Amino acid sequence: MKADLRIIIDKLFTSLTGLAIASMIIALFVILGPMLYRGFGAIVFRGTVEFRKMQIAEFHHGNAEKVKQEAEKTQKVRQVVYDMIHRFRNGIDIEELENRVKDIHRNYGNELQQKDISREQYKELRDFSKEIRDKLIDTFSSDNIEKIKENIDFVLQYEMDERFVETVAIEYFTIARDFLKSSAKIDFEKRDFYAAELEELEDIILRLLGPAPDADTPMLAQKRYGATRLDQTNILFHQLFWKEKWVEQENSVALIKIENSRPEQFAGTELEPLFGYIKDNIKQMLNPKLTFYWRYFFDDSTPGHYFGGIGPEIFGTLLLTLLSMIFVIPFGVISAAYLTECTKEGPVVRIIRMCINTLAGVPSIVFGLFGMAFFVLFFIPIFGGPSQPCILAGSLTLAVLTLPVMIRASEEAIKTVPQTYKEASLALGASKFLTFVKVTLPAALPGILTGIILSLSRVAGETAPILFTAGIAIGPIPKSIFQTTRTLSYGSWDMAVSDKLAAEVPHNQFGMVVTLVLLILCLNAMAIILRARVFKKLKGH
């Protein structure tokens, strides 16, 4: 009866163990699955012509001639959009139109000065140009369509006048005709409304297609190109057709989101056909292609991680991790050896162990503040180093952070070595030190490697300690351990706290996080393989 009960209990616990393992696997899949999927999108995606233009200009990757031909082909389709916006703006942007005709009058005067004409002729032509300019300025500010037509007719009667032909003043008449055409379809009472809506629309088109050919090159990298990925295009496409607005509910403080149709806002105007044209030709404008961006793991990035890869972040993470382990492994093993081999159980040893266990539970941000106060401001400057955050200060801080884990793991590993091993060595005449180095340490090595694996995982994934001691968001690849560095954990944190950046390029943030997870898995796998080989060697295989 007891034997049957034991069998039942054994099977029950075996089943529970299997269920726990299965639950852990499912939980990992649920947590990591979406993250891996979205992170994978940083490498494999449908890249537009803007992505290929960006790669050429920013990182010098790709066939420049082929991309140029592709860009010229897409530009022909895009030009229709820019022309529509230009014509529509001519009917509503009074200030810009006034500045343009003033510039024409000024340039016409400069042109006249270069000609061989008398002072009287010069004055006559300048006065006539001034009359045309003033007539147009008066037209732009008018909301009376009859007066507009009358003024435009007055201006256009001089279009073929020999005084203006083949001069810059001929632009007067182009502006006049465009304004007349636009004003015929504009409700002048809504001119300010159209101007505000057009500004929003132009910003969306800028992010979708990039700046117009005749526009100034924006300073920010993210404004020099349109949507580089098809998933960004889908978001912008929705914003192009629908304007989100938050309004108050009746008898409630809560706001609700409503969406207004942008095409309806511009109904009956010169800009109404724009939306249908973009909808029908968006693929020809962007020419998306399946892209495998393997350089993501090696390229640098533009400021803010908007474009480019994470090469410096990977390098910085590896550098900080490996340098930290150089400090933590010897100090951890030596400390564990001292506690197990060189001391006897007593109040002092118990206090030391209690302190080690307490340090293992201290929040990492506290270690970061300690690292800044001790290593950055005090310890490193003593030896002539700079009193500023650097890789050395960050690695020392991370070493202190993981030292309790390393000590406890090493201590337990040393304790598991059979006492008979030590006694046999001592009986053969070996000293205690030689016994530890030749017998105890090799036998405890698999357990020590387990501590190294745990320490690696924590060091590579920490952000808080390096906020104050080593990490930066933007900067060059470090050339010495006395400089700061970028890391994957710091980079993902920086994107998360940046204003709307993570929402605009979520693939980069997920790509960083997934790369960090995979990097930790690779480092752990190497340590596990090493541990397995050591264990086999100890067993005599």
Domain ranges of the chain: 47-52+189-292, 93-185, 305-538
Question: How many other C-beta atoms can be found within 10 angstroms of the C-beta atom of residue 482?
Answer: 15
Q: What is the pTM of this model?
A: 0.80
pLDDT at 508 over 80: yes
pLDDT at 1 over 60: no
pLDDT band at 76 (very low <50, low <70, confident <90, very high): very high
Once rounded to an integer, what is the mean pLDDT over residues 483-496? 88
- pLDDT, position 91: 72
pLDDT at 104 over 70: yes
pLDDT at 184 over 90: no
- pLDDT, position 3: 65
pLDDT band at 264 (very low <50, low <70, confident <90, very high): confident
- pLDDT, position 414: 87
Contact of 57 with 519, CB cutoff 8 Å: no
- pLDDT > 70 in the chain, percent: 96
CATH dotted code for 305-538: 1.10.3720.10
- pLDDT, position 450: 84
- pLDDT, position 66: 93
- The dihedral built from the CA positions of residue 128, 134, 139 and 143, taken in this order, carries a sign that is negative
Which of the two residues, 189 and 327, has the higher pLDDT score?
Answer: 327
- pLDDT, position 217: 81
Question: How many other C-beta atoms can be found within 10 angstroms of the C-beta atom of residue 77?
Answer: 18
Please state, in angstroms and rounded to a whole number, the distance separating the CA atoms of residues 115 and 24: 87
- pLDDT, position 348: 83
Q: Which of 58-67, 158-167, 169-178 has the highest mean pLDDT?
A: 58-67
- pLDDT, position 288: 92
Letter string b/e over residues 244-258, b meaning 16 or more CB atoms within 10 A of that residue's CB: eeeeeeeeeeeeeee
Letter string b/e over residues 362-380, b meaning 16 or more CB atoms within 10 A of that residue's CB: eebeebbbbbbebbbeeeb
- pLDDT, position 439: 84
